[in-house]
Amino acid sequence: MSMSSWFAVRKELGPRPRFVIGVMSFVLPLLIWSLVSYVPWLWHPKVEIREPGGVGYFKPGMLVDREVFDKEALTAEQQGKTLPLGDPANPIYLPAPHEVAIAFYTAFTTEPKRRSEKWLHESLWDSIQVIFWGFVISSMIGVPLGILAGTYHFMSRLFEPFIEFFRYLPAPAFGALAVAVLGIHHAPKIAIIFIGTFFQQVLVVANTTRKLDPALLEAAQTLGAKRLSLLFRVVIPGISTDLYRDMRILLGWAWTYLIVAELIGSSSGITWFITQQARYKNFDNVFAAIMMIGIIGLTIDLLLAWLGKRIFPWQRQPARN
């Protein structure tokens, strides 16, 4: 396959280039990160001290700016002291890939510093629970409401103007209120995920419902379908595939509210872990934790995509050439 066919407008790639390019989308950023981390003359604005030499305040392992190091080295040379030795290094907030990879493992195996603190997997589990309940409660109300608003103009006029207004209110703004009403445990965090998801959800689901081909509804009516059977036998199955896709996207949005939600009240979950590690300047752990969120999110999405193909066998399979 030639390069030019890679850029044909809206043409699908063959299975091989499709796979290779998909992998590349992860490899490229990783490659840039590795280059910046491992090629000493790329960036590396700091110097890590190996031997303090004659410089009094240098300590082995210390990070100093390159200019400071050069200046001190020059001074030492002029004063005839032993020269300090050092290696080019990146700032502490940019750990190298292998450090993050190691942190990935050690973060799970390191015992918490205090008895009352949680292991990483416990923190992650807390986060997943907050997302899950926030999203499920939002969906239990938001999806039926959205379908009703998309089906009946009456419902649309009754709910949508207010929801349009409310969705502009930033969910984190309700943090203090949520704590006052719901206490300091999971409940206010779930409430923030709920507020962040619910209003968008109703509008998105209502729009999806409105996009159902009206000819299908008309055909059903000429076949004898009445009010309820129209809703349950035509509208709901008719939008189910699009609804499922919406839910995947909305779940992604719910994840973006996680960090804010977990900062509310007493910080918890993966956010607590991240802020804690940042305080100890363990940025490799911070990176590992941020990536864990990404990996969990992506895994769930892929799982849902895979599941979707099995739940909806009538969906046109993408052409495989």
Neighbouring residues of 192: CB distance < 8 A, sequence distance ≥ 6: 134, 171, 172, 174, 175, 178, 257, 260, 261, 264
Q: What is the distance between the alpha carbons of residues 92 and 112, in angstroms, rounded to a whole number?
A: 22
Task: Point out which span in 36-44, 145-153, 209-217, 273-281 binds other proteins (CB under 8 A).
Answer: 209-217
Distances (CA, A) of 278 to 26, 115, 129, 231, 287: 25, 20, 23, 52, 10
Residue with smaller CB distance to other proteins, 306 or 314: 314
Q: Does 122 bind other proteins (CB under 8 A)?
A: no
Q: Does 82 bind other proteins (CB under 8 A)?
A: no
Site for other proteins in 235-264 (CB under 8 A): 237-238, 240-241
The residues pairing with 49 across neighbouring beta strands, listed in sequence order, are 86
Q: Does 320 bind other proteins (CB under 8 A)?
A: no
Q: What is the distance between the alpha carbons of residues 7 and 189, in angstroms, rounded to a whole number?
A: 45
Q: Which of 111, 222, 318, 320 binds other proteins (CB under 8 A)?
A: 222
What are the φ and ψ backbone dihedral angles of 64, each rounded to 5 degrees?
A: -130, 155
Q: Which of 221, 256, 266, 299 binds other proteins (CB under 8 A)?
A: 221
Q: Does 231 bind other proteins (CB under 8 A)?
A: no
User: Which positions from 158 to 187 touch other proteins by CB under 8 A, shown as an x/- string?
Assistant: ------------------------------
Specify the amino acid at residue 293.
I
Counting residues that bind other proteins (by CB under 8 A) gives: 23
CA-closest candidate to residue 246, choices 135, 164, 165: 135
Q: Contact positions toward other proteins, by CB under 8 A?
A: 213, 215-216, 218-226, 229, 233-234, 237-238, 240-241, 312-314, 316
